[in-house]
């Protein structure tokens, strides 16, 4: 019998699988909802439940354990502050898998995995490039510095 022989391998090496789930965990914590294939979502469900349970302890050892799993300070901070407060009275079942049809290219079954009681404003956070607008004074100073360097090069010749 095949009792307790691990999880799905998902046709990946162990390093690839570990990195993929780490990225998916960070995305799920950040956006609180992601779309993926059904087998990946089912595997991620058990991992995110364990990570949130660790985050609810909010001790230094728990934060170090979370950072070793996630490698992202912002995700650890959100887990220990926002999500731990949200799920302090819940004993488990922090996320759900909702099937959403089939992918167009290869007809793979897809699903949304989302946190229960999610924040709807978190979806799409940090999407798209954010450009810092600089003042016209800064641009003018940069141009003046470039012109001065050109002038000094001409006088040296």
The residue with greater pLDDT, 71 or 146, is 71
pLDDT score of 155: 62
Q: Does residue 60 form part of some domain?
A: yes
Q: How many domains would you assign to the chain?
A: 1
pTM metric for this prediction: 0.76
Q: Does residue 42 form part of some domain?
A: yes
* The pairing of beta strand 33-37 with beta strand 95-102: unpaired
CATH number at residue 29: 3.90.1030.10
Distance CA 151, CA 154 (A): 5
| 3 state SS of 111 | strand
pLDDT band at 1 (very low <50, low <70, confident <90, very high): confident
Tell me the mean pLDDT in the region 63-91: 95
Place of tokens 């998916």: 24
Range of the domain at 43: 14-126
């Amino acid at each position: 019998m095949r009792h307790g022989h691990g999880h799905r391998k998902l046709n990946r090496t162990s390093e690839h699988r570990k990195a993929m789930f780490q990225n998916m965990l960070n995305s799920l914590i950040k956006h609180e909802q992601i779309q993926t294939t059904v087998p990946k979502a089912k595997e991620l469900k058990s991992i995110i439940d364990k990570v949130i349970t660790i985050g609810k302890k909010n001790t230094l050892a728990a934060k170090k354990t979370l950072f070793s799993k996630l490698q992202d300070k912002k995700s650890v901070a959100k887990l220990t502050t926002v999500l731990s407060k949200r799920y302090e009275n819940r004993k488990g079942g922090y996320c759900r898998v909702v099937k959403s049809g089939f992918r167009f290219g290869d007809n793979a079954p897809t699903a949304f995995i989302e946190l229960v009681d999610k924040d709807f404003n978190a979806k799409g956070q940090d999407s798209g490039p954010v450009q810092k607008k600089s003042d016209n004074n800064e641009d003018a100073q940069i141009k003046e510095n470039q012109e001065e360097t050109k002038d000094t090069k001409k006088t040296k010749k």
